[in-house]
Structure 1
Amino acid sequence: MHRPQWIAAAITLLLIAVTYWGCPVRPPEMEEGFNRAPSAATGVQSLIREAHTQLTPAQRATLSTLEDRLASQEEDSARVEVLQQLASEWYKAGQPGISGAFAAQIAELENTEDAWAIAATTFSLCLRQEGVAQKTRQYCTDQAEQAYQAAISLNPTNAEHRINLAVTYTDNPPPENPMKGILMLRELEQQYPEEPKVYITLAQLAIKTNQLDRAAERLRKADDLQPGNPDVVCSLAKVYENLGRAGEADIFARKCSDLLQ
C-alpha cells in the first residue's frame, strides 16, 4: 500500500473512532440515568430470590414453568409472549418491580415507545407500594428512569413521559437533589402550558402537602384546558370542600356526579 493510501486509511479509522466514541448514541438527557443505574440483571435476580419466599407453591410452579419455556424460545415473538406472561404473573404476585424487569425485556426486544412506557409505569408502581425496602425503591427508580428516558428518546414530543419521569423523582427524590421532580414539573409547566396533565400532577402534589389553594388553582387551570375530565372535576369538589368553600364544592360535586353516571 502506497503512502497516500496509508494516510487515507488512517484518517478513515480515526473518523470511525471519533464517531463511535465521541458522539453519544443516546440523547444527553438520557446519560445520567444510564450511568447512575445499577445492573438491571443483578438487581432483578436479587429481588426474585427475596420474593420467592413469599410465593405460594402454585405461584412458584407457574413461574418455574414459564421460566423453562422462556429458556427454550429462540424467536423474539415467542419470547415476548412468554415474557408478557411472566410480567403478568409477577404483577399478580404483588411484585411490580420484578414485573417491570420482564416488561423491560419486552421493550428491549420491541424497542417501541409504548413498550418502554409500559415498563416504566410498572416500575413506578413499585414506588407507591407501602413497606418497600429502600434498595428495592432505588432499583425501581433507576429502572423507571431508564425506561421513561428510552420512551422520550423515541418520541421527544410526548410530554406525558417527561411528566411521569418527574413524578418518579417526586416518589423517590434523589438524595443529592430532593427537589428535582418538582423543578422538572415547573419547567414542564413553562414548556407545555396547554398540557392539562402537568397541572393535574402539580395539583396532586399540592394536595399531598396540604397546599389546597394552590391545588385548586392548578385544577381550575386543568379544567379550563380539558373540561369534563372527572379526575379534575371530582378532585376540585373535594378540594373546595376541604377549603370550606361550600358553594364551589357543591357545584363541582354535582358536575362530578353527572360525569360518573
Structure 2
Amino acid sequence: MRKTQWIAAGIAFVLLLVTYWGCPVRPPEMEDGFQRGPVQATGIESLIREAHADLSPAAAATISTLESRLEGQDDDSLRVDLLQQLAGEWYRAGQPAISGAYAARIAEIKNTEDAWAITATTFSLCLKQEGIDDKARQFCSAEAEAAYQAAISLNPDNPEHRINLAVTYTDNPPQDNPMKGILMLRELEERYPDNPQVYITLAQLAIRTNQLDRAAERLRKADELQPGNPDVVCPLAKVYENLGQAEASAIYARKCGELLERASDAGTGSVSG
C-alpha cells in the first residue's frame, strides 16, 4: 500500500471506533469466564481522574463540556451521541481504557453484537499499550472479556468473537489458568477447521514463541483455505526467510508484493472513481 492508503486505513479504523460506539447475556458454555468478575481494584472514575492531568487544555475543556452535557441528558439517542463523542475524545487522547468504558455504556444502551464487539476491541487495544500499569491492565482485561462474552451471547455462530477472546486470554493469561487462551484456540481449530483466521491466529502465537516450523504449517493451511490473503502470504515469506528457506521465501515475497500492489491499485481506483 502507498503511504496515503495506510494513513486512510488508520483513519477509517479510528472512525469505526468513534462512530459505532444492551446488557450482556452469558451463554452457559462461557459462564466460567465471568467467575473472575469485574476487577474492583480499579474503577473507571480513578482512571479518569488520573488521565485528566495529562490532557491538553483543549481536550480537557472539550471532555468536561461533554461530560456536563451527558449528566443532564435522559434521552437515550442523545446520550449515545454524547458517549460516542467522549469515547472518541478519550481514544484520540491515547486512553483506550477510558474510551472503552464509554463504549461499554453505549453497548449497554444499544445491546447489539457490533456495539459489544467495538467495546471489546477498544479494551483489547488498551492491553496492547506500552507501559500500561497493572491496575489498568486488569481493568481492560476483565472488561474486554465481558464485552466479548456479550457479543458471543448475541451471536454464538460468529467465531470471530471467540477467536478474539482467546487472543485476549493469551495476551493477559488468567492467573488460575495461564493456558486458557491456547487451549481455547485449539478447541476452535477443532470446531472451525475451515476458518482461516483460526490458523492465522495460531500462527501468530507460534511466531511469538519462535515456533517457526509450526507457524509455517498453520500459515500454509490458512493459505489453502483462503488463497491470496496478504495476512497469510506476507508473514509466510518472513517465516520462510527466518527458517533459511530462501527459495520458498522468495516465492511468497513475490506473491506478497503482487497482492499489496493490487490492493493499492484497487484503492487508488476507488478513490479516483
TM-based fold match above 0.5: yes
Distance (whole Å) between structure 2 residues aligned to residue 43 and residue 32 of structure 1: 23
In structure 2, relative to structure 1, the CA distance for the partners of 1:183 and 1:35 (3 Å cut) is: closer
Amino acid in structure 1 at the alignment position of 2:188 = L
Deviations 1:153-187 (A, max 9, x none): 00000000000000000110011111110000001
Q: Give the aligned partner of residue 114 of structure 1.
A: 114
Deviations 1:39-75 (A, max 9, x none): 6896211111111121111111010011011112211
Contact 1:240–1:248 (Cα < 8 Å) also in 2: yes
Q: Give the aligned partner of residue 10 of structure 2.
A: none
Shift of 1:142: 0.4
Q: Give the aligned partner of residue 89 of structure 1.
A: 89
Distance (whole Å) between structure 1 residues aligned to residue 34 and residue 89 of structure 2: 27
Distance (whole Å) between structure 1 residues aligned to residue 206 and residue 145 of structure 2: 23
Q: Give the aligned partner of residue 14 of structure 2.
A: none
Q: Does 1:147 align with 2:147?
A: yes
Distance (whole Å) between structure 2 residues aligned to residue 115 and residue 26 of structure 1: 16
Distance (whole Å) between structure 2 residues aligned to residue 54 and residue 44 of structure 1: 16
Contact 2:222–2:232 (Cα < 8 Å) also in 1: yes
Q: Which protein has the larger Cα radius of gyration, Structure 1 or Structure 2? A: 1
The farther-off stretch of 176-185 and 68-77 is 68-77
Q: Give the aligned partner of residue 211 of structure 1.
A: 211
Distance (whole Å) between structure 2 residues aligned to residue 248 and residue 28 of structure 1: 45
Give the TM-score taking structure 2 as reference length: 0.84
Shift of 1:204: 0.4
What is the RMSD computed on CA atoms of the aligned residues?
1.5
Q: Does 1:242 align with 2:252?
A: no
Q: Does 1:223 align with 2:223?
A: yes
Distance (whole Å) between structure 2 residues aligned to residue 34 and residue 45 of structure 1: 22
The farther-off stretch of 40-49 and 211-220 is 40-49
Distance (whole Å) between structure 1 residues aligned to residue 179 and residue 193 of structure 2: 21
Q: Give the aligned partner of residue 31 of structure 1.
A: 31
Gaps of 5+ in 2: 1-24, 262-273
The farther-off stretch of 238-247 and 46-55 is 46-55
Q: Give the aligned partner of residue 124 of structure 2.
A: 124
Distance (whole Å) between structure 2 residues aligned to residue 30 and residue 211 of structure 1: 29
Q: Does 1:198 align with 2:203?
A: no
3-state DSSP class of the match of 2:135?
A: helix
Amino acid in structure 1 at the alignment position of 2:149 = Q
Shift of 1:151: 0.3
Give the TM-score taking structure 1 as reference length: 0.88
What is the total number of aligned residue pairs between the two structures? 237
Gaps of 5+ in 1: 1-24
Contact 1:103–1:119 (Cα < 8 Å) also in 2: yes
Distance (whole Å) between structure 2 residues aligned to residue 197 and residue 208 of structure 1: 17
Distance (whole Å) between structure 1 residues aligned to residue 103 and residue 80 of structure 2: 9
Deviations 1:69-105 (A, max 9, x none): 1112211111111111101110111111110010011
Q: Give the aligned partner of residue 59 of structure 1.
A: 59
Shift of 1:29: 3.4
Contact 1:40–1:101 (Cα < 8 Å) also in 2: no
Deviations 1:210-260 (A, max 9, x none): 111100000010111111111111000111111110111001001000111
- Structure 1 stretches of at least 4 aligned residues deviating more than 6 Å after TM superposition: 39-42
Contact 1:219–1:232 (Cα < 8 Å) also in 2: yes
3-state DSSP class of the match of 2:71?
A: helix
